[in-house]
Chains A and B, each alone.
Chain A
Amino acid sequence: MIKEYNTVREIVGPLMLVEQVEGVKYDELAEIELPSGELRNGSVLEVNRDKALIQLLEGVIGVNVRDTKVRFKGKGMQLDVAEDILGRVFDGQGRPIDKGPRIIPEKRLDINSSPINPFARDYPSEFIQTGFSTIDGLNTLVRGQKLPIFSGSGLPHGKMAAQIARQARVLGAEEEFAVVFGAMGITFEEAQYFIQDFQRTGAIERSVLFVNLANDPAIERIATPRIALTAAEYLAFEKEMHVLVILTDMTNYCEALREVSAARQEVPGRRGYPGYLYTDLSTIYERAGRIQGRKGSITQIPVLSMPEDDKTHPIPDLTGYITEGQIVLSRSMHRRGIYPPVDVLQSLSRLKDKGIGEGKTREDHSDVFNQLFAAYARGLEARELEVILGEAALSEMDRIFYKFADSFEKRYIAQGENEDRPIEQTLDLGWELMSVLPRAELKRIREAFLDKYMKQFDKKSALTS
């Protein structure tokens, strides 16, 4: 028999204080019955003697002190899972919103899973081809990695994420990725873009969507990524699927967290975000990975918009310290009409070295990557110089690199929204672009590869084509 309390004492922000409770557990799920009879969910944030502090996932509008009833469920928040969740759309708490049938649960899983033992992890090393040259060639994604997209408002991160979801595949393996999509506080249009894109391409059949829109309760967003990842873990580690998890937009998630922290009057860390933001984010991001002896994997692509495009803002900053690299989008490239507007110099994939090379992509990959990168960096320096001094002041060598940077942006970075470039093509394109550079400048490439791959390109053709 579950006890019912009508001893609500305080309602402040998204929080509610209940008194004279007994046996309440930390992090327990609470069911709140409003005077109107409506039911809402909450979770216990703190128990202190006979008081329990509850965070209301769906807001406090309509809750009053006198008539509201609270029941504690004796367990944490759980998600019903079954293989049928594929192809379905749920709200931010995992309730179907696509007018489809109820899910008959095969299992109920706690949405906060225990950490994976580092000893049980398998190192991510299988190359994922996304069809983007900037990712495959320069910031290689591997199975089990967490690689966020650092974006800004107005940049095409949604388009990119959808394209990745559409094109991602592992070479040699025919299986496709299952996609788990967790939306936190994004607009209706953004969400529709994904849903329609998935429907159009048939990807919806192997996708699960959890959608919390901008006008949905903000606090619910704290649960959404955990619910999405619980579904992903089920698919990956129990149903042996390779799962790609897209979480967008993490900034909204962090803001919900800040709202709760502020309501609790906690000592704030930077910019008012709670001091435990790092720990909290890590419990989301660290759920990516592979486990030894299990077939499935979870690869995460969280999307976050950097406030004022500032990479040192706490959200991108702490994210970057947890994730294995980042894809940074650049506003200036976007303005110049380059899609995807990836800021190559600031982007990084920490796991690329394990996923590239002979047997995975191609033997020359690492050298090509290093050289392209260095050459492009030098080209940008020359471009800076040109802005100040004019083109005439550039040395001959600078001019070559200056032109290289231009063609690199236009031909290597830029590609079409439906262009799925195989890795071979990406690598060959790299060689072609580098062929305008003097051989003595290609210090980062081993002699043997220079001999083997460079000869197919006529020195002059690259820039003119």
Chain B
Amino acid sequence: MKQGKIIKVAGPLVIAEGMQNTKVYDVVRVSEQKLMGEVIEMRRDEASIQVYEETAGLGVGAPVYPTGEPLSVELGPGLIEPIYDGVQRPLDIIRSQAGDRITRGIDIPGLSREKKWEFKPSVKSGDKVFEGDELGTVQETVLVLHRIMVPPGIGGVVKKIEGGGHLVTDRIAVIEGEDGKDKEITMMSKWPVRVPRPYKEKLMPNEPLSTGQRVIDAFFPIAKGGTACVPGPFGSGKTVVQHQLAKWADAQIIVYVGCGERGNEMTDVLIEFPQLTDPHSGEPLMLRTILIANTSNMPVAAREASVYTGITLAEYYRDMGYSVALMADSTSRWAEAMREMSGRLEEMPGEEGYPAYLGTRIAEFYERAGKVTCLGSDNRTGALSVIGAVSPPGGDLSDPVVQATLRVVRVFWSLEDKLAYRRHFPAISWLTSYSLYVPNLREWIVENHGEEWVANVERALAILQEEAELEEIVRLVGLDALSADKRLIMETAKSIREDFLHQNAFDEVDTYSSFDKMVKLMELIMLFHGLSEDALEKGVPVTEIASLSIRERIARAKFIPEEKLDKIDALKKEISRTFEELTEKVATEA
């Protein structure tokens, strides 16, 4: 195609003329160094290009080569395990080719062209297939069976299918379409990142995504196929929450997008994940994780692309019928990348300098989540849950990015620095957070955990709410002014906060809490509360209840390992016994 010529360079924005044949959002290669860029605006024959690499050294007159294709990712076996940058270049291979620093003009395909995969056909010649049908499978990792699907828009009769070891670019099948033309299928396909992948039908999410984090699973659950946002000021533990979810969520595939993140934090993920084992399968977590890292000092335009790259890969696995969870940390950096490009384009700014289309882009992104019936005759379902961290300036929730996000997501985990200062982690506020999935999930939860659990959770939330109101009073008139039953509420609320909600991500045992354990812990606290209420009625002074030594053991119950949960049951019996003794003692004294 005819090449263009640079007429302007301003930071990551390059304008080139002679680009009349190029489409908006096409990828171009800029200058002799072949820097990757994307056309974001056209005026006559002038194209505004956001360049995904550092532009220092570019000058007027340098050539621009159109590729005629939009920004796409390569899909196929081999996505798991490498770590990608924002435009799907594998960072491990970049390192082996370019050294410790990311130099410019590197062009490495997302999928290895050298690795052979063992392809097992599941159809035979003569079979009729439709878009989305499984042609065969590849064992990508121990944990992931990769389904090779008929690409969207293709269907017909299988004329040829070849099992055995193949490169991703090898022909594995030939399908004769309805128009009589043969289509060659390879394991690798391409998909433009800004276009959502198709599915048959969207479904209502009705099953919770277990995360192993008590405050989330108990109070503010997210559904498989749901959306959540985690806004919070710096230091409130957003990244730890995101890491915890990536580690412990019971999704089959995790896509973790580090968007404008700290370099050392990405390294932490890289070093730590391969050492962690998945509590559900016992295999290394890395074998189900796709990592995309665009650290804050990497080019800003690639940061803008990274969330789209991530969600397209996630959709691809969803289409295989998997439950996929995507974590984006942080979407504020993505929004800022948009703002930066918008500013360079001299667009009229909206709120806080963000472009007027900020809300639309955010909504479009989150709407790509969902539980769906995938393409394919077997009507399998897949789910894509999206959890986005937001980093509002100063933790101010009126920030445009937070507001635009809250309009579309259904779960809000509000991180508060006040809690973080008290070292209450995860610092998710129980007063302001919410989950709109609770009604959808209720049926599933009652069926699996019983009515008592639901009642306990509601009771616990009510106690915490009441504590917040009582605290106001205590602040004015002191704790002694409260009646005994109100004092008990304060004590129980403290126990819920410290012994249940507080969870130490760095403790081997406490870092993950199964649903069973969570239910038992809650039962302990509520049992103690219930018995205390009875005891109060029988005239036991509240100070005496508060100083029972068994409370220390309740506090330590969360450190009981998963395989010894019967210890919690034993503790329950002991609580009952303690109260019997206590009431007896008080009765005899009276």
Contacts and interface: CB of A to CB of B under 8 A. Distances in A.
A282 to B, nearest CB: 3
B44 interface: no
B295 A286 contact: yes
Contact of A353 (B8, B265, B422, B506): B506
Contacts of A282: 260, 295-297
A325 interface: yes
Contacts of A374: 422-423
B549 A48 contact: no
Contact of B101 (A115, A314, A345, A395): A115
A440 B267 contact: no
A291 interface: yes
Contacts of B268: 123, 354
Given A279-B296, A314-B393, A322 B57 contact: no
B300 interface: yes
A370 B235 contact: no
Interface in A37-63: 45-50
A44 to B, nearest CB: 9
B332 to A, nearest CB: 8
A399 to B, nearest CB: 12
Given A24-B60, A276-B340, A325-B235, A119 B94 contact: yes
Nearest to A293: B100
Contacts of A145: 264
A320 B235 contact: yes
Nearest to A48: B8
Nearest to B396: A312
B142 interface: no
Interface in B233-270: 233-235, 258, 260, 262-268, 270
Interface string A208-250: 0000000000000000000000000000000000000000000
Interface string A278-292: 110011011101011
Given A123-B264, A320-B234, A115 B102 contact: yes
B11 interface: yes
A351 B267 CA distance: 12
Nearest to A398: B479
A117 interface: yes
- A116, A118, A370 — most chain B CB neighbours (10 Å): A118
The interface size bin for chain B is 35 or more
B115 interface: no
Contact of A286 (B7, B234, B297, B349): B297
A442 to B, nearest CB: 10
Given A120-B95, A279-B300, A324 B264 contact: yes
Interface in B530-555: 549, 551-552, 555
A208 to B, nearest CB: 22
A448 interface: no
A102 B314 CA distance: 57
Nearest to B239: A350
A47 B59 contact: yes
B498 A443 contact: yes
A46 B480 CA distance: 69
A348 B271 CA distance: 22
A123 B267 contact: yes
A454 to B, nearest CB: 15
Nearest to A440: B552
A56 B266 CA distance: 37
A107 to B, nearest CB: 15
A281 B137 CA distance: 46
A117 B296 contact: no
A393 B482 CA distance: 13
Given A116-B263, A269-B353, A286-B296, A47 B60 contact: yes
Interface string A287-317: 1010110100000000000000001111001
A25 interface: yes
Contact of B83 (A119, A373, A388): A119
Nearest to B417: A346
The bracket for how many chain A residues form the interface is 35 or more
A23 B57 contact: no
Interface in A102-157: 112-124, 144-145
A389 interface: yes
A312 B393 contact: yes
A26 B57 contact: yes
B76 to A, nearest CB: 22
Contact of A348 (B103, B235, B478): B235
B340 A279 contact: yes
Contacts of A162: none
B475 interface: yes
A366 B266 CA distance: 23
Given A121-B263, A268-B353, A278 B101 contact: no
A266 interface: yes
Nearest to B330: A321
B264 A117 contact: no
B305 to A, nearest CB: 15
Contacts of B333: 278
Given A123-B268, A385-B475, A322 B423 contact: no
B182 interface: no
B135 interface: no
A281 to B, nearest CB: 8
Contacts of B393: 270, 312, 314, 317-318
Interface string B321-360: 0000000001001001101101100100100110000000
B240 to A, nearest CB: 9
A346 B10 CA distance: 39
Q: Pick from B7, B234, B549 the residue with the most CB of A within 10 Å.
A: B234
A409 interface: no
Contacts of A393: 478, 480
A384 B66 CA distance: 65
A35 interface: no
Given A118-B293, A270-B393, A373-B423, A275 B101 contact: no
A267 interface: yes
B236 to A, nearest CB: 10
Contacts of A121: 263-264, 266-267
Given A47-B60, A289-B263, A322 B296 contact: yes
Contacts of B423: 370, 373-374, 377
Contact of A27 (B8, B56, B100, B296): B56
Interface string B97-134: 01111111000000000000000000000000000000
A250 B499 CA distance: 42
A80 B113 CA distance: 42
A162 B452 CA distance: 60
Nearest to A343: B421
Contacts of B94: 117, 119
A114 B103 contact: yes
A28 interface: yes
Contact of A23 (B59, B342, B352): B59
A114 B480 contact: no
A391 to B, nearest CB: 11
B33 to A, nearest CB: 12
B152 interface: no
A267 B57 contact: no
A385 B480 CA distance: 13
A333 B297 CA distance: 35
A278 B263 contact: no
10 contacts: A26-B55, A28-B57, A115-B297, A120-B99, A120-B100, A267-B349, A274-B343, A285-B297, A286-B262, A440-B551
Given A285-B297, A312-B394, 5 more contacts: A270-B393, A289-B263, A322-B262, A326-B235, A389-B478
4 tightest Cβ-Cβ pairs between the two chains A and B = A312-B394, A282-B296, A27-B56, A286-B297
Interface of A: 23-28, 45-50, 76, 112-124, 144-145, 266-270, 274-276, 278-279, 282-283, 285-287, 289, 291-292, 294, 311-314, 317-318, 320-326, 345-346, 348, 350-351, 353-354, 366, 370, 373-374, 377, 385, 388-389, 393, 395, 440, 443
